[in-house]
């Protein structure tokens, strides 16, 4: 009940680590789950360096219509990575319909390669399906500003280590591993093969869609729009 005697957990950690010498130091290392004998305080989030040169829009800025899936055209994106991190396939999932588009990246997964593949895929879509893109903070999105200029679509970034913020995309990536197993070379797959796999997923009935297929939902949307 004496606030002046309260200390933070960090103070306690520092006292334990700084006073540990000799045999006590070995006892501390064996008793602690991490086995560390040095305490490294976490950096204040406000002091973290920006991830990219251009300012990022965070997922907290994403419009409510994207969050509740009420309006089509909001996409989630990611990469699935091949053997030895040497190859990749880009994956896009539309949040309202679960429609899948796969990005062919035969020459690598640099920011420039991903930017160009995204621009090609998005500009091929009907305008009604071009509202926004949500991605994690991977280095492949360093050219997000150029993508937005080319397509008119803002990119919203997930918080660090928060894959559930792209839940539809994460689930789809799990399905895609049936076609593209982990530890395999993904560069061997042609653009035609990727399109065929995406078409299979888009013809697959989904419980979350009332057993409609993503392709049926997209067709309905575009028919209503016309």
Q: What is the pLDDT of residues 33-50, one digit of tens each?
A: 666 655 555 555 445 566
Alpha helices per DSSP H over 124-166? 144-151
Q: Residues 212, 112: one domain?
A: yes
Same domain, 195 and 167: yes
- The b-or-e profile of 182-198 (16+ CB within 10 A means b, else e) is eeeebbebeeeebeebb
Is 50 inside any structural domain?
Answer: no
Beta strand segments in 107-182, E: 132-135, 155-157
| Domain of 28, in residue numbers | 1-40
Model confidence at 201: pLDDT above 80: yes
Indicate the pTM of the whole model: 0.77
Let me know if residue 48 belongs to a domain: no
- Structural domain contains residue 65: yes
pLDDT tens column, 48-100: 566 788 899 999 999 898 888 989 999 999 999 999 999 999 999 999 999 99
Whether residues 61 and 15 fall in one domain:
no
What span, in angstroms and rounded, lies between the C-alpha atoms of 29 and 46? 31
Strand partners, 157: 58, 135
Per the listing, tokens 């994106």 go with 77
Pair (99, 169) in one structural domain: yes
């Amino acid at each position: 009940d004496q606030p002046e005697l309260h200390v933070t957990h960090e103070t306690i950690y520092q006292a334990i680590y700084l006073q540990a010498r000799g045999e006590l130091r070995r006892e501390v290392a064996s008793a602690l789950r991490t086995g560390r004998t040095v305490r490294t305080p976490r950096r204040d989030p406000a002091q973290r360096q920006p991830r990219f040169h251009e300012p990022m829009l965070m997922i907290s800025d994403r419009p409510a219509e994207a969050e509740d899936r009420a309006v089509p055209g909001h996409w989630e994106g990611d990469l699935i990575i091949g053997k030895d991190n040497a190859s990749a396939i880009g994956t896009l999932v539309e949040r309202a319909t679960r429609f899948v588009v796969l990005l062919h990246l035969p020459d690598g997964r640099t920011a420039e390669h991903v930017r160009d593949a995204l621009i090609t895929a998005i500009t091929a879509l009907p305008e009604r399906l071009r509202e926004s893109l949500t991605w994690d903070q991977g280095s492949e999105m360093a050219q997000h500003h150029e993508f937005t200029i080319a397509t008119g679509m803002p990119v919203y970034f997930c918080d660090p280590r928060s894959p559930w913020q792209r839940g539809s995309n994460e689930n789809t990536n799990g399905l895609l591993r049936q076609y593209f197993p982990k530890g395999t070379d993904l560069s061997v797959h042609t653009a035609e093969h990727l399109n065929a796999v995406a078409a299979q997923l888009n013809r697959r009935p989904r419980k979350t869609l009332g057993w409609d297929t993503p392709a049926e939902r997209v067709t309905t949307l575009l028919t209503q729009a016309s």
